[in-house]
Chains A and B, each alone.
Chain A
Amino acid sequence: MAEPLIVVRDLAKHFRIAEREPGLWGALKSLARRRYRTVEALHGVSFAISPGELVGYIGPNGAGKSTTIKILSGILVPSAGECRVAGRVPWADRVAHVAGIGVVFGQRTQLWWDLPVIESFDLLRDIYRVEAGRYERVRDELVTLLSLEALLDVPVRQLSLGQRMRCDLAASLLHEPDILFLDEPSIGLDAVSKLAMRQFVMRQNRERGTTVLLTTHDMDDVEAMCSRVMLINHGTLLLDGTVDDLRSERRRVVVEFDGPAELGDAHAALLVSRQGQRVVFEVPGRVAEFVASVTARYRLHDLTVSHLPIEETVAELYQRAPDRAGELR
């Protein structure tokens, strides 16, 4: 296995937040005496990412995803722990570090609001000191891949969210970084834009070998794109593995009986819902045995087996988080 490109060890970050009581009186009181509350955004996160990986970073709101991305991009200094990206400590030499990475925030554009897209690109060429010939080649390639031809002369403020995301993706790659951080790239996108985003990022990863770390709420993003997934909650990594690790052993079995059926105790115990002849079971494992026993006992019209939606497994993992975090501390 290659040397890791990104190494994070025991990363911790806590914020001191000034507490303010509501209203004018509260504001005045806080002037005289400030009360602080410490929020632990990350405690002891460790992982390593090899060159060419495409890693999904998931967790509920406030889990610590954005904090991690900000530290990796050099705009936030951690309270403790180590972090190296391409051999550099991100926050130690910000300018050198950010020249080698691309970052896209789904909620916020990196482009100039009032300028046509192409002029934003030209300014980025100057800011990143991209040599003119190389810039034109990379830009034209990105324009083709992301179908930006018709958007280039449009001011950024007039773009739809999906169009803007495509332009932002192009903007983040004009200087050909080896590492790409995507923070919620699919937020608010329609289905077509979402697919275009995914395909483009996967292609960039596959063909240019760009290492990608992306945060998302959308499990479909993770299933479609990521070979590896890290799950964080309450500032602690709960899982670092493949997408299959996110799936539980449990299966959902939907049965449609041919005529009324009286369930036996063993089967009734697994029942989730029943609507007339249509019955949904959740089976904790050995699904083949279950199917065999059902088909042997009842007359069936139809039977389907499916994975539990990944969201449900993930939601369960999130709920288990406080206990796990407690054990680890």
Chain B
Amino acid sequence: MRPGPAAPVLYGRLVSQSIRAQIQYRLSFLLMSVGHFVTSVVEAVGIWALFERFGMLGQWSLAEVAFLYGIVNVAFPMSEALARGFDVFGAQFVKTGDFDRLLLRPRSTVLQLAGHDFQLQRIGRLAQGLIVLGWAIVVLDLDWDPARVVLLLYTVVSAVVFFYALFIFQATLSFWTVDSLEIMNTLTYGGVETAQYPLAIYRPGFRRFFTFVVPLGCISYFPAVALLGIDDPLGTSRAVQVAAPLAGYLFFALALVGWRAGIRHYTSTGS
């Protein structure tokens, strides 16, 4: 083993530096955090308004949808905060040629990008997600035995991993084309929008896509059904619902494989 900090320690130092740099601009940090909070509250109010008018969404009550929404909106801002380096990769590293700088350092590029910019301001959206999730938990009056608590934590972590993988895919795509990032945005931000609602309300083709291609349903809808203790109108068993979030880790592994291919492409074209 060579001397010097291992990857997790270096990651911690990069993150703490990035937080310190952000706090230098205190006002801007506060405004951004509040901004994220307000935007996401307005969004939640929109959903509530929808229910005011229609009462139920399929067989889902407002509190049940809020529960699902809460899980997604706790996980996504965490991914956004952690994966910022990949989120801005095309514009800030590929277009500018700054990626060369990362390649010149004797550390993994994934580690360096992960530690690039820890976006503390996403705490605004995270707060909104936590409030909605907390409200749903109170209203639903579920039995929070240890198994359910563990299942909830495992679901959230899997969702964070899944969204992180989406950001890596987005970054990988920019090795080939920086201009088509809008396509990926439909998957990341559009994905969040989609995952906020029960998968069962969508058409079959759409459902299959978000289960087997981009396993968005696997990290939100299926475990949420298990957590809520209701029957899945799509007919899956509890075992499948509990195992489904594992797809998030598989998706992450695939993202890393794709990333390596992207680097090979970059080092052979140099642009």
Q: Is the CB of A108 within 8 A of B98?
A: yes
Contact string, B96-110, partner A, CB cutoff 8 A, digits 1/0? Answer: 011011011111100
Q: Count residues of chain A with CB under 8 A from any CB of chain B.
A: 31
Closest CB-CB distance, B260 to chain A, in whole Å?
12
Is A3 positioned at the interface, with any CB of B under 8 Å from its CB? no
A15 and B268 CA atoms in complex are apart in Å by 8
B5 touches A129 (CB 8 A): yes
Cα–Cα, bound, A127→B270 (Å): 24
CA distance A98 to B271 in the complex (A): 20
A129 touches B104 (CB 8 A): no
Smallest CB gap from B2: residue in A: A129
Asked whether any CB of chain B lies closer than 8 Å to the CB of A52, the reply is no
Segment 17-40 of B: residues with Cβ below 8 Å from A:
17, 21, 24
Is residue A24 within 8 Å, beta carbon to beta carbon, of the partner chain?
no
Residue of B17, B101, B106, B270 near A123 (CB, 8 A) is B17
Bound-state CA distance A174–B143 (Å) is: 58
Chain B residue nearest to A94 (CB atoms) is B103
With A15-B270, A76-B270, A91-B267 in contact, is A127–B3 under 8 Å at CB? no
- Chain A 33-63 near chain B by CB (<8 Å), digits 1 or 0: 0000000000000000000000000000000
CA distance in complex: A98, B109 (Å):
13
Cα(A98)–Cα(B13), bound, Å: 21
In the complex, what residues of A have CB within 8 A of residue B107's CB?
95, 127
The answer to whether B13 touches A123, judged by C-beta atoms less than 8 angstroms apart, is yes
How far is A77 from B267 in the complex, measured between Cα atoms in Å? 6
Q: Which residues of A contact B104 (CB under 8 A)?
A: 73, 75, 98, 103, 110
Closest chain A residue, CB of each to CB of B97: A108
Q: Which residues of B contact A94 (CB under 8 A)?
A: 103
B4 within 8 A of A: yes
Residues of A within 8 A of B98 (CB): 108
State whether the Cβ of A74 lies closer than 8 Å to any Cβ in chain B. yes
Taken together as a complex, chains A and B put the C-alpha atoms of A94 and B267 apart, in Å, by 11
Q: Are B270 and A70 in contact (CB under 8 A)?
A: yes
Question: What 1/0 mask marks residues of chain A from 76 to 108 whose CB sits below 8 Å from any chain B CB?
Answer: 110000000000000100111011000101001
Provide the bound-state CA to CA distance between A123 and B9, in Å.
11
Complex interface bits, A136-155 against B, C-beta within 8 A gives 1, otherwise 0: 00000000000000000000
In whole angstroms, how far apart are the Cα atoms of A96 and B106 in the complex?
7
A95 touches B14 (CB 8 A): no
Residues of B within 8 A of A (CB): 2-5, 9-10, 13-14, 17, 21, 24, 97-98, 100-101, 103-108, 267-271
| Extra inter-chain contacts (5) besides given A127-B10, A127-B105, A128-B105, CB under 8 Å | A15-B270, A15-B271, A70-B270, A75-B267, A77-B267
Q: What are 13 residue pairs bridging A and B, where the CB atoms are less than 8 Å apart in the complex?
A: A74-B103, A75-B104, A76-B267, A98-B103, A98-B104, A108-B101, A110-B101, A112-B17, A115-B17, A123-B14, A127-B105, A128-B106, A129-B3
